[in-house]
Amino acid sequence: MIDAQNVSKLYNRSVYALRDLTLKIEKGDFVFLTGPSGAGKSTFLRLLLREETPNKGALRVAGRDLSRLTTRQVQAYRRGVGFVFQDFKLIPRMTVLENIAFVPKVLGAGSVPMRRRTFQVLKWVGLQHRMNAFPLELSGGEQQRVAIARALINDPVLVLADEPTGNLDPDLSLEIMNLFREINARGTTVVVATHDRELIRQVGRHTITLAHGRIVENE
């Protein structure tokens, strides 16, 4: 699924965010990306979302070299990738329902299948009773579930999450992780960046540890 070959990313001339990174993540894998602050976790996810491209090396996802995509191909690629951030990134002036339906709407989906699918994912994260609430009326855990529903609406083959539980207490964190496990159980590849070692211990999956942009552990 993901194949990184000697990937390096520099933000400035001298600062390596990622250095000579080589790794493989299989289709259907559930991977934790961990390591201290500044290790390059977010950078790697940004490369996978094709927000950035590597300065050196090749990063392939599902056989596609992410450095060699046209604008249209980037759009097509991103439609198959779901993302979740630590700060949820919900749109405050839209209701829960609108936040989720926003994605198929801006991708030009018809309104009937769009509605059906929106209800489906909303139900799946257990928030159908809150669909007319606004994000700021929800708890952190609920907001993150809305964000997860939004990430799932396109049936992505790959879900990326950057510190999805960073703003949540341990119980809620585990609850959110269970959602990711369920997503993964249906065959979707999941990559979660977190420095919450306790959470990793509880969930116990394939873990890649980074430090200073290099892999220090891959188990």
Ligand X SMILES: Nc1ncnc2c1ncn2[C@@H]1O[C@H](COP(=O)(O)OP(=O)(O)OP(=O)(O)O)[C@@H](O)[C@H]1O
**According to CB under 6 A, which one of 21, 30, 32, 43 is a site residue for ligand X?**
43
- Picked from Mg ion, ligand X, another protein, none, the partner binding residue 71 (CB below 5 to 8 A depending on kind) is another protein
CA distance 87 to 157: 23
Residues in the chain: 219
The site string for Mg ion over 24-53 (x = CB under 5 A, - otherwise) reads: ------------------x-----------
Q: Which two tokens stand for residue 117?
A: 């699918």
Residue numbers 131-160 binding another protein by CB under 8 A: 154
DSSP 3-state assignment of 82?
Answer: strand
Residue 63 or residue 110: which is nearer to another protein going by CB? Answer: 110
Residue 42 or residue 128: which is nearer to ligand X going by CB? Answer: 42
CA angle 51, 56, 62 (to 5 degrees): 60
Residue numbers 186-215 binding ligand X by CB under 6 A: 195
Residue 51 or residue 182: which is nearer to another protein going by CB? Answer: 51
Q: Which stretch binds ligand X (CB under 6 A): 40-48, 61-69, 141-149, 200-208?
A: 40-48
167 near Mg ion, rule: CB under 5 A: no
198 neighbors 169 (Cβ within 8 angstroms): no
**According to CB under 6 A, which one of 17, 103, 153, 158 is a site residue for ligand X?**
17
- Binding residues for ligand X, rule CB under 6 A, total 12
- Picked from Mg ion, another protein, ligand X, none, the partner binding residue 40 (CB below 5 to 8 A depending on kind) is ligand X
What are the two backbone dihedrals, phi and then psi, of residue 203, each rounded to the nearest 5 degrees?
Answer: -85, -40
Residue 178 burial (CB count, 10 A):
11
List 9's β-bridge partners, or say none: 18
CA distance 68 to 201: 37
Residue 165 burial (CB count, 10 A):
24
Binding site for ligand X (CB under 6 A): 11, 15, 17, 35, 37-43, 195
